[in-house]
Copies of this chain bind each other. A is one copy, B any other.
Amino acid sequence: MEKETRRYAGALRKEHIGQNVLLKGWVQKRRDLGGLIFIDLRDKSGTVQIVFNPTVSEEALAIAESVRSEYVVEVKGQVVKRDDATVNEAIETGAIEVFVSNLEVVNKSKNPPFPIQNETDVAEDLRLKYRYLDLRRSSLQETFKLRHRTTQVIRNFLNNNEFLEMETPILTKSTPEGARDYLVPSRVHAGEFYALPQSPQLFKQLIMVSGFEKYYQIARCFRDEDLRADRQPEFTQIDIETSFMSSDEIMEMTESMMQKVMAEVKEVELPLPLPRIKYQEAMERYGSDKPDTRFGMELIHLSDSMKDSSFKVFQSAVNSGGKVALLNAKNQAANYSRKDIDKLTDFVKVYGAKGLAWLKVEGDELKGPISKFLSEEEIEAISSKAEVSDGDLLLFVADKSSVVYDSLGALRLKLGKEMKVIDEGKFNFLWVTDWPLLEYDEDAGRYHAAHHPFTMPMDEDAAKLSTDPANVRAKAYDLVLNGYELGGGSLRIYKKEQQDKMFEILGFTPEQAQEQFGFLLEALEYGAPPHGGIALGLDRIIMLLAGRSNLRDTILFPKTASASDPLTDAPSEVAKNQLDELSIQLKNKND
């Protein structure tokens, strides 16, 4: 008898029939039947059925009787053809099974707190506490294989394009501009702190000043923010920076990279160039700066027609600088009762809308509570702009522009899902360009950088920086997929005078700018090249490629919504001497 070679369970096929094999893995399931024992043996490659038969080995059969789910075993045996009647077409190894001559129990297992199977309704907290068991499920195994492949495709693409992979520090300086930093007390420098980087932004700019010209990093980033379903305290971004390239060149390079990913990971051909849409147009058409273009149902603008409306809500919205717009939910009048529409109204209120007006199209009439306030011309304008037909449901928001965009943008996505008009098989990438450089923060009474303070204004708008900052556009671009922002980038300011000016507009005194960003300002004085780049959220890309809706499924050991890890119990209390060494103490409650 020839010597057994280690084989992967999931890789056994008809062509292995007759071979002696060595398998190592986990007991997925055991069935006793007619004096035989059948086990689904699982390893990283999949599962295969192994059979214990007294005519092959009584000893192995006897041991198999003691075996339970999730035991680790090594088996030797022969691959045999299954009877035609027992062939299982549903699994790739279903044409064969392994007759076991030798079984060794390598390690036992307690009965797991939940079964290791793909479909699960087990509470996420329990699954996170036993993450090492949850990860045995094949859907998660596949997700992390996909994550691995995606990362390698991206690396290969960038390596082939002369990029150098470089590592920037995790222990860095706190720059309170932006999100909240995670801080790390210094032991050597009592009273001082490092911060974990929110992104390698400043370091990658310094790398450009260093002359490396093409940098990338699959970089860990940290933000101490209140978590949402699609946020994690630490996340991974594909971080890219180049010198001497234009926005167009960076976008073209990035979309070629995504084309490669789609081809090699999803076997989907992504036509290039990707569509581009300007920020302002995206807001007007989709009510979103990251539009999901897998379906239509765009916003229909009525402001021009409602300036003089006798319907006060519409008229005053327009005349106080706001907007009136509607969505036409085609053929949905019968599907949405008054009660349903009340729910939609509650939904848009979350986005600041004061209400949701509606009309239903019956024949060629528009019927609903607001119809009586609308003139014939107005009804005509609505009908024609919204291209109504019998059975349509029209939903209106009249408010200041940002509320109209946000509420109708969100409502559009909600309706799209409810109406099942979104093709889930599509991967609609697009670029959003021509972003505003600045956002006015009413609470703070000053401008914030819409992206970050290092973003370059468009040349033709630069002169407006002092006179009309709200209307300065940035050399910035976001990549969007199916309504998710995958990431964004920009060209950066590379002249000190312009960076000084930018800090001034953002309300920094020269001393504050120097204190926080002095090293960057100084670097710009020593021959900084024109440079720019992009950062894409790897976790989110994986989530979309894997067809998942939860970012935690794409991170090996994620944190919960309260930023804790039920598995290791992090964060946790530490010993007082650890704090003493760091010259810190817990804050007195009554301070």
Check if A106 sits within 8 Å of B530, measured CB to CB: yes
Given the known A-B contacts A563-B188, A583-B586, are A193 and B527 also in contact in the complex, defined by CB atoms under 8 Å?
no
Contacts of A351 in B (CB 8 A): none
A211 within 8 A of B: yes
A582 within 8 A of B: yes
A151 to chain B, nearest CB (A): 6
Given the known A-B contacts A194-B571, A211-B44, A572-B192, are A527 and B184 also in contact in the complex, defined by CB atoms under 8 Å?
no
Stretch at the interface among A168-176, A253-261, A316-324, A481-489: A168-176
Which of B147, B148, B224, B529 is close to A187, meaning CB atoms less than 8 Å apart?
B224
A371 to B489, CA, bound (A): 77
Contact with B along A174-193 (1 / 0, CB 8 A): 10100011111111111111
Which of B24, B181, B575, B587 is close to A585, meaning CB atoms less than 8 Å apart?
B587
Q: Which residue of B is nearest A243, CB measured?
A: B24
A563 to B183, CA, bound (A): 15
A354 within 8 A of B: no
Contacts of A248 in B (CB 8 A): none
A543 to chain B, nearest CB (A): 14
A109 to B220, CA, bound (A): 33
Check if B185 sits within 8 Å of A136, measured CB to CB: no
Contacts of A523 in B (CB 8 A): 132
Check if B569 sits within 8 Å of A519, measured CB to CB: yes
Given the known A-B contacts A173-B571, A573-B193, A584-B586, are A164 and B148 also in contact in the complex, defined by CB atoms under 8 Å?
yes
A445 within 8 A of B: no
A534 within 8 A of B: no
> Quick one: which of A120-140 are within 8 Å of B by CB?
130-133, 135-136
Contacts of A583 in B (CB 8 A): 586-587
Check if B109 sits within 8 Å of A527, measured CB to CB: yes
A427 within 8 A of B: no
A22 to chain B, nearest CB (A): 10
A502 to B353, CA, bound (A): 63
Q: Which residue of B is nearest A24, CB measured?
A: B244
Contacts of A581 in B (CB 8 A): 180
Residue among A145, A195, A210, A562 with the highest chain B CB neighbour number at 10 A: A210
A564 within 8 A of B: yes
Check if B184 sits within 8 Å of A184, measured CB to CB: yes
Check if B167 sits within 8 Å of A556, measured CB to CB: yes
Contacts of A42 in B (CB 8 A): 211
A176 to B576, CA, bound (A): 12
Q: Which residue of B is nearest A523, CB measured?
A: B132
Check if A189 sits within 8 Å of B72, measured CB to CB: no
Contacts of A379 in B (CB 8 A): none
Contacts of A185 in B (CB 8 A): 183, 185, 584
Stretch at the interface among A80-88, A201-209, A283-291, A503-511: A201-209
A182 to B186, CA, bound (A): 8
Contact with B along A214-254 (1 / 0, CB 8 A): 10000010101000000001101000000110000000000
A528 within 8 A of B: yes
Check if A572 sits within 8 Å of B529, measured CB to CB: no
Given the known A-B contacts A109-B527, A133-B526, A180-B581, are A565 and B234 also in contact in the complex, defined by CB atoms under 8 Å?
no
Check if A168 sits within 8 Å of B587, measured CB to CB: no
A71 within 8 A of B: yes
Contacts of A37 in B (CB 8 A): none
Check if A183 sits within 8 Å of B582, measured CB to CB: yes
> Quick one: which of A24-57 are within 8 Å of B by CB?
24-26, 42-44
A573 to B516, CA, bound (A): 11
A168 to B174, CA, bound (A): 24
Check if A207 sits within 8 Å of B525, measured CB to CB: no
A333 within 8 A of B: no
Q: Which residue of B is nearest A555, CB measured?
A: B167
Which of B108, B211, B519, B582 is close to A527, meaning CB atoms less than 8 Å apart?
B108
Name 9 interchain pairs, CB-CB below 8 A, sorted by A: A44-B211, A109-B525, A131-B210, A133-B526, A176-B574, A181-B574, A186-B571, A519-B568, A579-B587
